[in-house]
């Protein structure tokens, strides 16, 4: 009989098509690979191209291509959320759902002992169930946001029991969207319900343990936190070397990294206020600027007139991509102006870099409140109309990175970094034990 004890346990990872999901799934794959699991990662060719570079030649993780239907408005290079124009998101979700039969064929071909799937859709675990393959959900966002979301879905008549976690009035549209009964909400709930006994989630107890406990009570599942899942950064191209050489010339903790993730594109108004805020702040900066695929936008035309000349060698503007973890690891980096995507928050904590929180959408406003609650960052609060103000941006940057009264935040970020290092791989060890038990029960060993 094939069992977890007599052969290498095989796991198929199946994330949603967003880089913010694929990246932690890949990092989870590295951890499983180190523990003698045979790991398969399934996604579209558009996503796997970037993953191949991350894997390198030494990894045994096998990539499995999922080919979506090519629609006139959604060619193959758009089968990813990375750079996808926002108006095509629903089209991508439709194409993804239509790929269920192809994914079922992949399951039959790979025959994994276990499927680890994302929270977006219930059909992957349903397909696995038909083949008697146990399926475990991995949620790559925070326990805080997930527990808040489930609370709104399940207990809309009750106030969330943790007062530090809320939406500002100007962010209320995000909270109101959660309250509206929709097909999407039902799909999320079903995908949680389909998970076998446990739910894996990115994070650790010291950070948001009370929220994972609350989530466990609502979901009826054991929550297994898997740690920050941050890989040691590497420089793999000339652009990375240029950035590192520039950082090497800066004083310790004198530079901020400014980035808003792979999916969000700044409004014209926000773009200009951030640019002016960086001019007003008294720190060096690396600012990553991104534009949607297919839009012919020139960076020089977007920046305020004379911006680069005024900044001089104090700042670097990078279009498209920068080695985020490598920058955050660098001793010259003293702050992170972040949208508070969960991967970015975890990387910032892992490297002990305090956060200047500037959330934009989705789970980010809730994550920003957590960052403030645990004391590792300060939020840039918008005006009553939801507009960023350059003076507020500069003030928060200077407070967190330069000023004496920001030392509390800087110290807390370092303490959390040290705590993460001390914990080592405790969460990964617990996850390995839980997954092996699920596999063994499937094979009748318990």
Q: Tell me how far apart the alpha carbons of residues 406 and 39 are, in angstroms, rounded to a whole number.
A: 43
Catalytic residues: 21, 118
Place of tokens 């002016």: 276
Q: Please give the helix or strand (H or E) that residue 38 lies within, else none.
A: strand 38-43
- Rounded Cα distance between 320 and 278, Å, is 19
* Residues 292 and 265: beta-carbon distance below 8 Å: yes
Q: Per-residue DSSP letters for 106-152?
A: HHHHH--SEEEE-SS-SHHHHHHHHTT--EEEEE-S-HHHHHHHHHH
> Residue 323 in 3-state DSSP?
coil
Residues facing residue 316 across a β-bridge: 286
Cα–Cα separations (whole angstroms), residue 226 to 87, 240, 309, 366? 34, 29, 45, 20
Calpha distance 437→446 (Å, rounded): 8
3-state percent breakdown (helix, strand, coil) of the chain, nearest 5 = 50, 15, 35
Q: What are phi and psi of 247, to 5 degrees?
A: -65, -35
Measured from the Cβ of residue 10, the count of other Cβ atoms closer than 10 Å reads 19
Which of 3, 51, 5 has the alpha carbon at shortest distance from 28? 51
Q: What six digits make up the tokens of 124?
A: 């992957």
Are 264 and 340 a contacting pair, CB within 8 Å? no
- Tell me the two tokens of residue 411: 């110290």
Specify the 3-state DSSP secondary structure of 293. coil
Using DSSP, state whether 63 is helix, strand or coil.
Answer: strand
Q: Tell me how crowded residue 245 is: count the other CB atoms within 10 A of its CB.
A: 9
Contact 21, 140 (CB under 8 A): yes
For the record, the structure tokens of 275 come out as 């640019």
Say how many C-beta atoms besides its own lie within 10 A of residue 42's C-beta: 25
């Amino acid at each position: 009989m094939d069992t977890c004890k007599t052969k290498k346990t095989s796991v198929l990872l199946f994330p949603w098509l967003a880089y913010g999901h694929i990246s932690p799934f890949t990092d989870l794959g590295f951890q499983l690979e180190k523990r003698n699991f045979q790991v398969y990662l399934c996604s579209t060719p558009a996503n796997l191209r970037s993953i191949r570079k991350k894997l390198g030649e030494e990894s045994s993780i096998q990539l499995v291509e999922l080919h979506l239907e090519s629609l006139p408005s959604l060619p193959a290079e758009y089968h990813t959320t990375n750079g996808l124009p926002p108006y095509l998101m629903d089209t991508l979700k439709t194409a993804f759902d239509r790929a269920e039969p192809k994914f079922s064929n992949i399951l039959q071909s790979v025959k994994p002992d276990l499927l680890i799937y994302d929270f977006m859709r219930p059909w992957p675990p349903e397909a696995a169930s038909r083949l008697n393959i146990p399926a475990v959900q991995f949620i790559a966002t925070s326990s805080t946001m997930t527990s808040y979301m489930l609370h709104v879905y399940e207990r809309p008549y009750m106030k969330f029991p943790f007062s530090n976690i809320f939406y500002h009035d100007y962010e209320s549209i995000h909270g109101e969207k959660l309250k509206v009964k929709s097909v999407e909400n039902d799909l999320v709930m079903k995908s949680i319900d389909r998970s076998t006994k446990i739910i894996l989630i990115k994070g650790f107890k010291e950070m948001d343990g009370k929220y994972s406990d609350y989530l466990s009570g609502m979901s009826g599942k054991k929550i297994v936190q898997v740690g920050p899942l941050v890989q040691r950064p590497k420089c793999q191209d000339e652009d990375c070397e240029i950035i590192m050489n520039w950082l090497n010339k800066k004083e310790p903790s004198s530079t901020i990294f400014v980035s808003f993730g792979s999916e969000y594109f700044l409004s014209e108004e926000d773009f200009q206020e951030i640019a002016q805020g960086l001019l007003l702040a008294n720190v060096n900066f690396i600012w990553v600027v991104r534009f949607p695929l297919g839009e012919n936008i020139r960076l020089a035309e977007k920046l305020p007139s004379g911006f680069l000349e005024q900044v001089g060698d104090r700042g670097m503007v990078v279009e498209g991509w920068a080695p985020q973890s490598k920058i955050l690891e660098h001793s010259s980096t003293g702050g992170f102006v972040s949208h508070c995507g969960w991967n970015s928050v975890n990387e910032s904590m892992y490297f002990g870099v305090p956060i200047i929180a500037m959330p934009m959408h989705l789970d980010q406003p809730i994550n920003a409140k957590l960052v403030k609650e645990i004391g590792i960052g300060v939020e840039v609060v918008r005006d009553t109309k939801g507009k960023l103000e350059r003076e507020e941006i500069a003030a928060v940057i200077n407070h967190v990175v330069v000023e004496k009264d920001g030392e509390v935040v800087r110290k807390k970020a370092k303490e959390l970094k040290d705590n993460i290092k001390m914990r080592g791989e405790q969460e990964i060890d617990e996850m390995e034990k839980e997954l092996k038990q699920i596999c063994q029960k499937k094979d009748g060993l318990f």
